[in-house]
Structure 1
Amino acid sequence: MTNMLFGRILVATDGSEKNRAALDEGINIAHACGSVIYAVYVIDTGTFSSMSGDIPLGDTYRVFQAEAEQAFTRIKSLAGDVKVETLILEGHPAAEIVKFAKAKKIDLIVIGTQGKKGLERLLLGSVAEEIIRSAPCKVLVVK
């Protein structure tokens, strides 16, 4: 018999090693509760507006998509028999994660305290804080 305390878990990933603890925790909870994991990678379109005009946007976008696919492959390999659905979102990370959580009636959002640094940043402490304030459900922040 499974415990459906958290039937739908959103795990936000940015593909970084710093995000690994959050992935592991989300997967562990999903195993214990018999949950579905929604792995979400947000392409922060705000980074495009601050980029040099010398960098083709299409190339940058493809890099983000490839990174998301790598992160999703990793999550699926770690998840074992847990059902994982993946989705790439675009926009402001916190807003997109919260909007997705509302639309999918997510029971728990699992996020890391910080992600990448510099131009490629996707999940930062400020994003985690914004998600905590705006989320329609429980949020687990993993260090």
Structure 2
Amino acid sequence: MTEHFLSSILIATDGSEKNRAALEEGIKVARLCGATLYAVYVIDTGTFSTMSGDIPLGDTYRVFQAEAEQAFARMRSLAGDLKVETAILEGRPAPEVVKFATRKKIDLIVIGTQGKRGLERLLLGSVAEEIIRSAPCKVLVVK
């Protein structure tokens, strides 16, 4: 039996429609390689410190969990018969994705970028850039 070049692919998802291209591309590569797909959604705990005290923390956490489950359901639907493992992580998105990839010995991380320019790119593309700089494996960035 021939061993595939890529046996595990991690797709970082935020559940947004802008992330759909990254999902589709990651699934396409996984299908071609026969790779196991891992989907991670990171609850950015830094957002809790900037939120109004009027919103109960538990309610906010449940909203993020529901969003993650919706993102995973979309991915499973697109992936069809491919094996998909999911994980909800907590913390800063880039370091959590990199730690997960290291722990699971991921061969490829697939992430989306919003394709912004100038100051917007610096602010919105910082997660993708940080993952690219610190990932233990190859990274595919999908615009």
State if a TM-score over 0.5 links the two structures. Answer: yes
Instruction: State the superposition RMSD in angstroms.
Output: 1.4
Task: For 2:85, give the aligned amino acid.
Answer: E
Within 5 Å, give how 1:57-68 maps onto structure 2. 57-68=57-68
- Counterpart residue number, 2:119: none
TM-score, with normalisation over the residues of structure 1?
0.91
Query: Shift of the alpha carbon at 1:14?
Result: 0.3
Tell me, yes or no, if the aligned pair for 1:2 and 1:34 is still in contact at 8 Å.
no
Give the conservation status (yes or no) of the 8 Å contact 1:107–1:138.
yes
1:10 and 1:109 in contact (8 A); partners too: yes
The number of aligned residues is 135
1:127 counterpart residue number: 127
1:52-103 Cα offsets, whole Å, 9 max, x none, are: 1111111110000000000001100110111000000000000000000000
Q: Does the residue aligned with 1:6 lie in a helix, a strand or coil? A: coil
Aligned match of 2:31: 31
Q: Which runs of 5+ in 1 are unaligned?
A: 116-123
Quote the sequence identity (%). 81
Query: Contact conserved, 1:12 with 1:111, CA < 8 A, in 2?
Result: yes
Larger Rg: 2
State the partner residue of 1:78: 78
Question: Is 1:12 the equivalent of 2:15?
Answer: no
Structure 1 outlier segments of 4+, above 6 Å: none
Question: Is 1:50 paired with 2:50?
Answer: yes
What's the offset of the Cα at 1:3?
Answer: 6.2
Question: Could you say what secondary structure the match of 1:4 adopts?
Answer: coil
Q: Where do residues 131-142 of structure 1 align in structure 2 (5 Å cutoff)?
A: 131-142=131-142
Q: Is this contact kept in 2: 1:11–1:39, CA < 8 A?
A: yes
Residue pair 1:3, 1:34 contacting (<8 A) in 2 also: no
Distance 2:38 2:6 in 1: 12
Identify unmatched segments of 5+ residues in structure 2. Answer: 116-123
2:94 matched to which residue of 1? 94
Q: TM-score, normalised by structure 2?
A: 0.91
